Structure 1
Amino acid sequence: MHPHDTDRIIGINWGSSNLRAYLIGADGRMLDSHEAPAGVATLQREGMVAAANAIRARWPEAGHAYAAGMIGSNVGWVDAGYVDCPAGAETVAQHLVPARIGELALHIVPGMACVRAVDGAPDVMRGEETELLGLLAAGNVDPDGIVALPGTHTKWIQLRQGRVESFMTSMSGELFDRLASGGLLASVLEGPGEPGPAFAEGVRAAAEGTLGLGALLFGVRARMIRGALRRDQTSSYLRGLLAGAEIADAVALFPALGDASVPLVGSGPVTRLYQAALAERGFDAHTVASADAVIQGFSAIHAIAGPSR
């Protein structure tokens, strides 16, 4: 064993559908990675044990292991609860939940919960907090700025003095998937949707129009039937409607959205959609790879909690 092998840590982003694990060096660099379609929604407890054992077998010398995401939910291995916002890395590190999954001893990262001052509504996140902590640790975000994490359930986060103050979750990604897979609009939608004129038109219609999203969604079908929208543009227009409505909500809740470039953390295709939608509304944004952020997040948590564990 190399004398510094135990300085390496394992970070696992364990969601509902997928498991992504990283071997992380003492300097915060990714040394190796492992991905499997082994999300908690697809596994019984014995399946979780098998997945954890495979990770330990791959990196037997790593000194500490951490897991974030749905593995810490009430349908995961153990419910790691939530820390109340405002919260930062220190708060999260103080509330790690020790566990053992098969041969892998680890600490599970809690989620975050908030009650927004603007509308008095509660919200929760699980998994995204580790990406946010990574952005903050790397200095890649304004400590008083806004961050967006586009995906199936997109998060818009208000930071204050380097901590998460409050956030909003939008189900736009899931809405598109549901509408495209069944129901009235499925028969007129074509393709995954991408930036372009139809997308931009949808963004403007949702952000500037007087009608609610329910009426605008039916309008996708009406526009195609009446020749105002080609079939190969319908998915892009729908994507634009959903993103435009979501950005309007984010602006209403977080007026500071337009003050600086917004980091978009996630996969390439979805962050490009949001970057285009924000540009259509006059906001600047830049993309950050999710893996880079989550690796830095695990490193930041370990820097606080690791020596005492």
Structure 2
Amino acid sequence: MQPAVNVLLDSFVGVNWGSSNFRAYRIAADGTLLDEWSQPSGVSGLGREGMANLMNQLSDRWPNHGSVYACGMVGSNIGWQEAPYVEAPSNLKDVARASIGTTIGTVPVRLVPGICCEREFDGGPDILRGEEIELFGLASIRPDWSGLVALPGTHTKWARFQEGRITEFFTSMSGEIFDKLTASGLLASIVDGEAADGPEFLEGVRQSQEHQLRLGTLLFGARARVIRGLLERKHSASYLRGLLIGSEIADALTIYPQLKGNSIPLIGNSVVCKMYASALTSLGVRAWIVDSREACLAGFRALHVATNS
């Protein structure tokens, strides 16, 4: 009789596979990163054959890879197979139970479902897919944490976490709006340089809090400021970013007024998170940053344990 195999003692693989990028982590049983591999090969640019080939390459790179978990758009209706959303409020066990076993290429994979919610404050719907791993990673790193969490990025998520459960969230597209506005169109003509924290950025944040004018008018006002010599072209990207991030934070403060005077963790890229942290600090909210990769590794390990316990 063969002895039972304890998969919790083996290394495993976590894959964050979005619409634009593929990131894979080989993780030791204790959560230590053993190796990582990334490709600009999101599911939106790959057919089924391309996705299968990429997973076969992963298997060639890590022949004894152990269990493989994949989150993100690979489990969406444009990915390999749809893993239906779990309804919030939900905890890690709920997500683990709803994961779907499949085979991509020659590799057995568990597809991680996203989470959907109906927001308490307005009854509106929202969805996330991929961020749940980072959120549960934070819960693993800080099991005592309850409150609001932000994941700054192209589509920033503001999620409410309570006793290990994601209860509700809302999404802001301010990152994508900034990218589009500064790449083409009228405002692109006034932008010269990258956005950065500083006086112009914080002025944009301040302007967004006034509530005298809405965002559409404030954004055009950035062009008027440059044309009239009130804003240097090299600082216009920072001002625009301040308007957008500030408007997003204004929404968060309206929805969760208790955030004022409290603290919030920010999960993501350090450069973008630092701008959010600066904006929040200027508005009386303390912020601390959790590296996205650290949260991912902790989240995948927690998922691995939850799936096999």
Give the alignment's TM-score, normalised by structure 2: 0.95
Q: How many residues align?
A: 304
Q: 1:260 Cα deviation (Å)?
A: 3.4
Q: Secondary structure of the equivalent of 1:208?
A: coil
Deviations 1:168-225 (A, max 9, x none): 1000000000001111101001212100000000001001231110100100101111
User: Which amino acid letter does the alignment assign opposite residue 23 of structure 2?
Assistant: R
Q: 1:261 Cα deviation (Å)?
A: 2.3
Q: 1:6 Cα deviation (Å)?
A: 6.8
Q: Answer whether contact 2:102 2:110 (CA < 8 A) is retained.
A: yes
2:174 is aligned, of 172, 175, 183, to 172
User: What's the counterpart of residue 259 of structure 2?
Assistant: 257
Change (3 A) 1:76 1:4: closer
Change (3 A) 1:5 1:209: closer
Q: Answer whether contact 1:83 1:95 (CA < 8 A) is retained.
A: yes
Deviations 1:6-62 (A, max 9, x none): 711100010111111001111111111111111111211111111111111111212
Q: Answer whether contact 1:113 1:122 (CA < 8 A) is retained.
A: yes
1:19 aligns with 2:22: yes
Q: 1:259 Cα deviation (Å)?
A: 5.2
1:298 is aligned, of 280, 283, 300, to 300
User: What's the counterpart of residue 111 of structure 2?
Assistant: 108
Q: Which moved more, 1:86-95 or 1:260-269?
A: 260-269
Equivalences for 1:229-268 in 2 at 5 Å? 229-258=231-260, 260-268=262-270
Segments of 5+ residues of structure 2 without an aligned counterpart are: 1-5
Q: Which moved more, 1:235-244 or 1:50-59?
A: 50-59
Cα RMSD after superposing both structures? 1.5
1:225 aligns with 2:213: no
Deviations 1:227-270 (A, max 9, x none): 11111111000000000000000111222323532111111211
1:125 is aligned, of 125, 128, 143, to 128
User: Which amino acid letter does the alignment assign opposite residue 148 of structure 2?
Assistant: I
1:75 aligns with 2:70: no
Q: Secondary structure of the equivalent of 2:177?
A: helix
Q: Secondary structure of the equivalent of 2:304?
A: helix
Q: 1:306 Cα deviation (Å)?
A: 2.6
Q: Answer whether contact 1:131 1:290 (CA < 8 A) is retained.
A: yes
User: What's the counterpart of residue 270 of structure 1?
Assistant: 272
User: What's the counterpart of residue 291 of structure 2?
Assistant: 289
Q: Answer whether contact 1:220 1:234 (CA < 8 A) is retained.
A: yes
Structure 1 Cα separation of the partners of residues 8 and 206 of structure 2: 53
User: What's the counterpart of residue 10 of structure 2?
Assistant: 7
Structure 2 Cα separation of the partners of residues 254 and 132 of structure 1: 18
Structure 1 Cα separation of the partners of residues 288 and 174 of structure 2: 20
User: What's the counterpart of residue 192 of structure 1?
Assistant: 194
Structure 2 Cα separation of the partners of residues 162 and 31 of structure 1: 27
Structure 2 Cα separation of the partners of residues 141 and 15 of structure 1: 30
Change (3 A) 1:4 1:171: closer
User: Which amino acid letter does the alignment assign opposite residue 42 of structure 1?
Assistant: G
Structure 2 Cα separation of the partners of residues 165 and 33 of structure 1: 31
Give the alignment's TM-score, normalised by structure 1: 0.95
1:148 is aligned, of 134, 147, 150, to 150
Structure 1 Cα separation of the partners of residues 257 and 43 of structure 2: 36
1:216 aligns with 2:218: yes
Deviations 1:85-117 (A, max 9, x none): 000101001100111100111101000001111
Q: Answer whether contact 2:137 2:302 (CA < 8 A) is retained.
A: yes
